[in-house]
């Protein structure tokens, strides 16, 4: 039985049996979700940009080929040395927003690279907030979102910023998160229609899964909860399932659990495995695999880890060693040209 239009929730997704296509509800009509397989000759690239090794930040951009285990390769440099960066990407461009130094200042910088090449980043525009430790809130083929962040020594923001990949320029104010947070789980979790911003600190640690409808400007909604509160782990996923890997909880109580949640039906996360090495980190994804990269390790204590581990989305379970970063880093920005939001 079909619901009347007034009762259909914004961003609802359905399967149209007549066209055999997925569709989403934009508030007034059903629109087809366009999916395609981009030409990714040589494999999907994961990009790890900036970050730091306390007390020093870095502008280094590194890349990996996600389907093939191995060490990272130098890509180029960001326009501004910084940590606490939000990453966004489509099949051609990776865009890195905001960030800062350990402490201050904070930046409204947005820069971008062409993923299939190598070289230094180029200025894209300015963010809607100067903030560090902002994180991704989803990307699709046309639009990228970042959200939250630290705008002062004790002030978090709930603002969501949006950019259009094809057109350089300043970010637009998109809406607001359920809570103002910084240091949410870092990486892109997206269906193409839905984007997610998970966990963080506000001012205490949060377990909230924020869901944003990427094609429609507006506020996030509460989608479910993590198993426990936390911040600064990896966010990875395909078009139906999101995963968060590792966790820094209250009082720097690190855990290595991997949690999964369903991007279509919603609900709370469940545990499906563990990272081999306990740490906070940044994630990059292709349709079958998520890789957690670098981060801060509590034992032995140290910033700017070079460790990379991965999970296969189909089998789940514990992580497997992927390789090493050429430069250890934490609080980097992560992006790829094959994450779940790209079909």
- Asked whether the CA dihedral 286, 287, 289, 290 is positive or negative, the reply is positive
Could you say which DSSP state residue 337 is in? S
- Regarding whether 28 and 97 lie in a shared domain, the answer is no
- Regarding whether 146 and 235 lie in a shared domain, the answer is yes
> Which range (4-8, 80-84, 326-330) has the least confidence?
4-8
- Regarding whether 96 and 244 lie in a shared domain, the answer is yes
- Average pLDDT estimate for 51-60: 92
Q: What is the pLDDT of residue 23?
A: 72
- Average pLDDT estimate for 14-18: 70
- Regarding whether 50 and 25 lie in a shared domain, the answer is no
User: What are the pLDDT digits (tens) for 192-218?
Assistant: 999 999 999 988 899 999 999 999 999
DSSP strand pairing (13-16 vs 21-25): antiparallel
- Regarding whether 240 and 94 lie in a shared domain, the answer is yes
CA–CA distance, 337 with 1 (Å, rounded to integer): 39
- Regarding whether 39 and 10 lie in a shared domain, the answer is no
What domain count does the chain have? 2
* CB 66 within 8 Å of CB 54: no
- Regarding whether 121 and 1 lie in a shared domain, the answer is no
- Average pLDDT estimate for 63-72: 98
User: What are the pLDDT digits (tens) for 146-170?
Assistant: 999 988 766 889 999 999 999 999 9
- Regarding whether 292 and 169 lie in a shared domain, the answer is yes
- Regarding whether 335 and 244 lie in a shared domain, the answer is yes
- Regarding whether 135 and 162 lie in a shared domain, the answer is yes
- Regarding whether 48 and 181 lie in a shared domain, the answer is yes
- Average pLDDT estimate for 49-56: 92
Tell me the sheet residues that pair with 308.
293, 323
- Regarding whether 7 and 129 lie in a shared domain, the answer is no
Q: What is the DSSP string of 13-39?
A: EEEETTTTEEEEE-SSSEEE-------
For residue 37, what pLDDT band results from cuts at 50, 70 and 90?
A: very low
Using a pLDDT cut of 70, give the percent of the chain over it.
91
Q: What is the pLDDT of residue 217?
A: 97
- Structural domain harbouring 161: 34-342
* CATH number, domain containing residue 304: 2.120.10.80
């Amino acid at each position: 039985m079909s619901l009347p239009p007034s009762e259909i929730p914004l961003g609802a997704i359905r399967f149209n049996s007549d066209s055999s296509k997925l569709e989403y509800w934009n508030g007034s009509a059903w629109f087809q979700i366009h999916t395609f397989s981009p030409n990714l000759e040589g494999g999907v690239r994961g990009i790890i940009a900036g970050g730091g090794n306390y007390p020093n930040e870095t502008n280094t951009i590194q890349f990996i080929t996600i389907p093939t285990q191995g060490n990272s390769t130098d890509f180029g440099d960001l326009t501004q040395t910084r940590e606490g960066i939000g990453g966004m990407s489509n099949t051609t461009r990776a865009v890195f927003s905001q960030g800062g130094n350990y402490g201050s200042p904070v930046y409204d910088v947005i820069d971008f690279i062409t993923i299939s090449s190598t070289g230094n980043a180029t200025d894209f525009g300015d963010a809607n907030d100067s903030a560090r430790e902002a994180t991704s809130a989803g990307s699709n083929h046309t639009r990228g979102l970042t959200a939250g962040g630290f705008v002062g020594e004790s002030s978090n923001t709930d603002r969501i910023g949006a950019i259009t990949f094809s057109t350089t320029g300043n970010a637009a104010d998109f809406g607001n998160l359920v809570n103002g947070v910084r240091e949410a789980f870092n990486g892109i979790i997206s269906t193409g229609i839905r984007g997610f911003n998970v966990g963080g600190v506000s001012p205490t640690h949060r377990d909230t899964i924020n869901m944003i409808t990427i094609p429609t400007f507006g506020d996030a909604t509460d989608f479910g909860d993590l198993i426990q509160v936390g911040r600064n782990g990896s966010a990875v996923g395909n078009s139906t399932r999101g995963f968060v890997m590792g966790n820094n909880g209250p009082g720097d109580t690190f855990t290595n659990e991997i949690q999964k949640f369903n991007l279509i039906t919603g609900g709370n996360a469940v545990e499906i495995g563990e990272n081999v090495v306990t740490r906070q980190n940044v994630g990059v994804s292709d349709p079958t695999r998520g890789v957690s990269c670098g981060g801060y390790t509590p034992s032995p204590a140290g910033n700017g880890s070079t460790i990379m581990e991965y999970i296969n989305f189909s089998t789940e379970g514990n992580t497997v060693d992927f390789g090493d970063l050429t430069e250890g880093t934490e609080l980097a920005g992560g992006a790829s040209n094959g994450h779940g939001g790209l079909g």
